[in-house]
Structure 1
Amino acid sequence: MYGLIKEAGIRPLKYVVEDPGKYFAIVEAAGAVDISLGIKLGVQYSLWGGSVINLGTKKHKDKYFEGIDSLDYPGCFAMTELHHGSNVQGLQTVATFDPITDEFIINTPSDGAIKWWIGNAAVHGKFASVFAKLMLPAQDAKGVSDMGVHAFIVPLRDLKTHQELPGIEIHDCGHKMCPWDGKYTSSLPTINKRFAATLGELVGGRVSLASSSTSILKVANAIAIRYSLLRQQFGPPNQPEVSILDYQSQQHKLMPMLASTYAFHFATSYLVEIYSQMKTTHAEQLVGDVHGLSAGLKAYVTSYTAKSLSVCREACGGHGYAAVNRFGILRNDHDIFQTFEGDNTVLLQQVAADLLKQYKQKFQGGTLAVTWNYLRESMNTYLSQPNPVTARWEGVEHLRDPKFQLDAFRYRTSRLLQKSHIESVILAKFIETVEKYPPKPRLQNIPSFFISF
């Protein structure tokens, strides 16, 4: 694979910095041909290369950029551990600075701290961005201080012999589907801010996954719809058989999916656009918006595509099982997209938490005026625009008006958010009450079957 990329003269790392839109287009095109190739490119340039570019110093960039871009330095992204995935702050790998030898000692203290699911490490990887808790000697020279999770470039293999270096062990985890002077300095003042910057590298991966998942959905749609146009079945007596796409059942399977594919195309294109703006402007508000949107879209698009691949396979009948139609490969290779760069359930919880946080901020200050202004704003909106779906007109021009469609989504979002906030407040109050007045144990009233079970 690396040989083919080199022969093609592809050098995408500069686009990760200068024009992310072009980079994601390259990954999308590669993934449409072979998902594994798209993933390989993402690991090399977005994760390994992106971590060096965005988390490294000038020294790191000067030393590694060319080798990463030319594929002379294949690398990987070693964040996930056997016992910790989504909870990155709970990583157990430790990097301790030794002021005497002027080096970092990276240690895996237990089996649970083994780096796990590290793509590109098994065969080709020569370097790794290893994420570990940085421990520094305390000011009073007694004990150490935990400075939070940081990234470290760790050589894995000898550049000439490709043999594993001393202290490095690489095993199969089963089949898948700068000079330091002893003083710690950082432009980010707190552990939480440094942690947020470290996790920022996953945002680019989520953008890429949403875009690549949409590309896979396009391929599946094209195969299923083309088959449905060519395949003929049944029809009036003594008449030519009818294309199965003319049947409503087939249309109900494929046409809404096609419409969603168009929507995902424009949504992910917009995400790539604002991600590119974020990389050039570093605007704080934009960083937050991209983080939330990339988490939400990655989760929603990859889940939708995973389900749609099965629908497309079924729409092609027995021919859907033929290897030449690729549905088996597409499903197997895409399935991990729902876990890559954050489990989809956890990502959706992050989005929900952010929306509830924004909702709560409307009431900050605690004064009657703040509450009154918010209620007045909500009431004015409600009175001027009752349910925009049931009220209003039913004409084509109105229903296709982007403003109407946005109003409908805003209305739905507002209602769901308000309902979720009220429910969360009630639940919090219930938990608070239970903690103050714990109920008496009533195990004697539970049927023995449930106790034994």
Structure 2
Amino acid sequence: MMNQTAEEDKSDDLSIINRRIERLRLHLDPIINKNEITPVLSMEVKRCRGGGEKEKGKKAAMEVNTEALSDYMRGEYRDVQEKVYEYFKGKPELQTPIEISKDDHRELCLRQLVGLVREAGIRPFRYVVDEPAKYFAILEAVGGIDMSLGIKMGVQYSLWGGSVLNLGTKKHKDKYFEGIDNLDYMGCFAMTELHHGSNVQGLQTVAIFDPITDEFIIDTPNDGAIKWWIGNAAVHGKFATVFAKLMLPSHDAKGVTDMGVHAFIVPIRDLRSHETLPGIEIHDCGHKVGLNGVDNGALRFKSVRIPRENLLNRFGDVSRDGKYTSSLPTINKRFAATLGELVGGRVGLAYSSVGVLKIASTIAIRYSLLRQQFGPPKQPEVSILDYQSQQHKLMPMLASTYAFHFATLDLVDKYSEMKKTHDDELVGEVHALSAGLKSYVTSFTAKSISICREACGGHGYAAVNRFGSLRNDHDIFQTFEGDNTVLLQQVAGDLLKRYQEKFRGGAIAGTWNYLTESMNAYLSAPNPVTARWEGEEHLRDPQFQLDAFRYRTSRLLHSAALRLRKHSNSLGSFGAWNRCLNHLLTLAESHIESVILAKFIDAVKSCPDESSRAALKLVCDLYALDRIWNDIGTYRNVDYVAPNKAKAIHKLVDYLSFQVRNIAKELVDAFDLPDDVTRAPIAMQKEAYTQYTQYVGF
């Protein structure tokens, strides 16, 4: 038996050697490999209508168990999302009409939130800290009903409520929790000012401690310090978490000492009469491009006095005699800790943006399967999704939607673990990862909604088919909770910090640990043999895909570090950063794409259902190779990909798009979005044209 095993091992070794020799011969031999990837099928030869007749001799479209895939996608919080959907389905008076005024939309949005909490019994606030994944699942479902409702819920529970829980102490939770939870204490998150948004440390609002009365005096020193775009402020808010510079009396020439930005609870309206309180000036920011169900307002404070206990004092406190104490030694450390506790807003936006992308993709793909136009002479018209150009628009987008789904799920898991453990390494990782994913995903979704609209032609322009409202409501996702360009710079800065640590002999941990290996690979020249490999098996190998993504990131990181060092000598650190800014943004996006692909590959491997796993593998390959092709110039410039390999990648992307098209219906069905959530007539699963014509009166 032992001899037989040894013989088998020897045979396997020879087989491996022979395969490697054959591969090498093929790549050195100019004769075209007979197993070269089959070009994408032409529309004149092939039509595939969701399991219909296939071209003779071609591989049949894969079968997908939609229910199993949907179970894997939606996970353990499917039930609470269904509860949200069922509640609003049974409340037609709470469904947002196509045409609605700003004021009516705001009142409807409030009724929707009150109904969800008090009638349906869904209490999101209870999950903000203890079970964030469930909270974000509710947020995704609510955003599908109306994005304004999702944002209003986020302002109430993530921002206003979250600031009380995360920045306050037990006394604040005991006093405010129930009122926030049941919506008696509607509140605002007053951070952004007219002159300062992303630069939070530059805020100008002040909170001066008065030791005689044991109060803080909140003041807006100039018009640039007016709090701006504050959700819930214009109409419904009764409290605001106000971010201001904490100023303590001192005996020096200045008379006060700046202790840095802190958060304070400031009542803005009377709890009974709802009248604006003395010293507080509130104005309506007015009609916006989108999200008009959210009542954004501007706040000015004129010597508003609040008790000392209204300081949210988790990271810094002031005693009765005016002494400041903190467990953190510096302003910068306290500021970082404060913002670190508020990172949940970015996590929620990244996660919710994927939900918006699912809706837009579902509408566009279902319509593209339904709509038929042109075709071979004297034959029936074909589905517009059978056209390569439509596949090119929508199939990589669908693949990205799946990729983002798994990446943001992983982010939520990391965030949940961070809330439990408060591990410093994890805090840093979640901060950078949430910044990168929020930026990358929301930018991609914003562009994709417009592509979906165009892909649906004139019918995509009808308001009832939702692309306009989705685009307008989602557009601000690129700006609030951190401008995307600024957030990408934070990612780049974190990468450079870890790069320096590596070359000082330190270890790179967390999501960045791949840089240790890939940086070493980058510092050696690309393999001229593997640069020419063009077989489908090789191109669809997850290791090749990951190596390519990570090689690009490592190369960009190394070159960015060299360029910054070079320009710092003549321009200084700020000037050098600005000179290299576009390079740094590309670096950050490359890193985030690497992270997304790694999480997608892990999700494919972990999928228990065989048919679902095969479908996910196909979609993952399209995501990876489409990204490589889109940046093929980078790979060609450094000879990482030879011309023949680049051509093979391009062909394979087209072919994979065609294969994904064959299961596109099943893939969007797996999102499990009911018709009353997608709401667009052209996306209805039954009698779409009938419902569309009935809408206009036929």
In the superposition, the TM-score normalised over structure 2's length comes to 0.58
Distance in 1 between residues matched to 2:398 and 2:518, nearest whole Å: 38
Distance in 1 between residues matched to 2:160 and 2:501, nearest whole Å: 37
Shift in alpha-carbon separation, 1:361–1:122, aligned structure 2, 3 A? same
Q: Between the two proteins, what is the percent identity of the paired residues?
A: 75
Q: Is the 8 A contact 1:321 1:327 kept in 2?
A: yes
Partner SS, residue 338 of structure 2: helix
Partner SS, residue 188 of structure 1: coil
- Specify the alignment match of 1:242 in structure 2: 382
Partner SS, residue 189 of structure 2: strand
- Specify the alignment match of 2:485 in structure 1: 345
Distance in 2 between residues matched to 1:98 and 1:55, nearest whole Å: 22
Distance in 1 between residues matched to 2:126 and 2:516, nearest whole Å: 49
**Structure 1 residue 115 and structure 2 residue 227: aligned?**
yes
Partner SS, residue 117 of structure 1: strand
The one of 211, 231, 242 aligned to 1:130: 242
Shift in alpha-carbon separation, 1:382–1:21, aligned structure 2, 3 A? same
The one of 330, 333, 339 aligned to 1:193: 333
AA aligned to 1:115 is K
Partner SS, residue 281 of structure 2: coil
Note the C-alpha offset of 1:144.
Answer: 1.3
Shift in alpha-carbon separation, 1:415–1:365, aligned structure 2, 3 A? closer
**Structure 1 residue 282 and structure 2 residue 394: aligned?**
no
Partner SS, residue 97 of structure 1: strand
The residue correspondences of 1:131-210 to structure 2 (distance < 5 A) are 131-138=243-250, 143-177=255-289, 179=309, 180-181=319-320, 182-210=322-350
Shift in alpha-carbon separation, 1:402–1:62, aligned structure 2, 3 A? farther
- Specify the alignment match of 2:89 in structure 1: none
Ranges of 4+ aligned residues in structure 1 off by more than 6 Å: 139-142, 374-377
Q: Is the 8 A contact 2:209 2:215 kept in 1?
A: yes
Shift in alpha-carbon separation, 1:43–1:141, aligned structure 2, 3 A? same
Note the C-alpha offset of 1:354.
Answer: 1.1
- Specify the alignment match of 1:102 in structure 2: 214
Q: Is the 8 A contact 1:135 1:147 kept in 2?
A: yes
Aligned residues: 426
**Structure 1 residue 395 and structure 2 residue 506: aligned?**
no
Distance in 2 between residues matched to 1:250 and 1:392, nearest whole Å: 29
Partner SS, residue 266 of structure 2: strand
**Structure 1 residue 425 and structure 2 residue 565: aligned?**
yes
AA aligned to 1:4 is G
Shift in alpha-carbon separation, 1:391–1:203, aligned structure 2, 3 A? farther
Q: Is the 8 A contact 1:86 1:343 kept in 2?
A: yes
- Specify the alignment match of 1:3 in structure 2: 114
Partner SS, residue 362 of structure 1: helix
AA aligned to 1:168 is I
- Specify the alignment match of 2:691 in structure 1: none
Q: Is the 8 A contact 2:373 2:384 kept in 1?
A: yes
Note the C-alpha offset of 1:202.
Answer: 3.7
AA aligned to 2:205 is T
**Structure 1 residue 258 and structure 2 residue 370: aligned?**
no
Partner SS, residue 273 of structure 2: coil
AA aligned to 2:113 is Y
- Specify the alignment match of 2:200 in structure 1: 88
Partner SS, residue 244 of structure 2: strand
The one of 316, 333, 341 aligned to 2:473: 333
Q: Is the 8 A contact 1:202 1:341 kept in 2?
A: no
Segment of structure 1 superposing worse, 8-17 or 290-299:
8-17
Shift in alpha-carbon separation, 1:282–1:402, aligned structure 2, 3 A? farther
Q: 5+ unaligned residues in a row in structure 2: which ranges?
A: 1-111, 290-307, 310-318, 507-514, 576-698
Partner SS, residue 497 of structure 2: helix
Note the C-alpha offset of 1:407.
Answer: 2.3
Shift in alpha-carbon separation, 1:430–1:388, aligned structure 2, 3 A? farther
Shift in alpha-carbon separation, 1:381–1:286, aligned structure 2, 3 A? same
Shift in alpha-carbon separation, 1:102–1:426, aligned structure 2, 3 A? same
Distance in 2 between residues matched to 1:109 and 1:296, nearest whole Å: 34
**Structure 1 residue 51 and structure 2 residue 191: aligned?**
no
Note the C-alpha offset of 1:145.
Answer: 1.0
The one of 124, 130, 150 aligned to 1:38: 150
AA aligned to 1:359 is Y
The residue correspondences of 1:428-439 to structure 2 (distance < 5 A) are 428-431=568-571
AA aligned to 1:62 is D
- Specify the alignment match of 1:321 in structure 2: 461
Shift in alpha-carbon separation, 1:126–1:378, aligned structure 2, 3 A? closer
Partner SS, residue 104 of structure 1: strand
Q: Deviations over 1:28-80 (max 9, x none)?
A: 11111211111111111111111000000111010001111111111110000
Distance in 2 between residues matched to 1:344 and 1:128, nearest whole Å: 25
Distance in 1 between residues matched to 2:519 and 2:441, nearest whole Å: 31
Q: Is the 8 A contact 1:356 1:417 kept in 2?
A: yes
- Specify the alignment match of 1:293 in structure 2: 433
Shift in alpha-carbon separation, 1:380–1:42, aligned structure 2, 3 A? closer
Q: Deviations over 1:235-284 (max 9, x none)?
A: 12222110000000100000010001111001111111101111110000
Shift in alpha-carbon separation, 1:297–1:150, aligned structure 2, 3 A? same
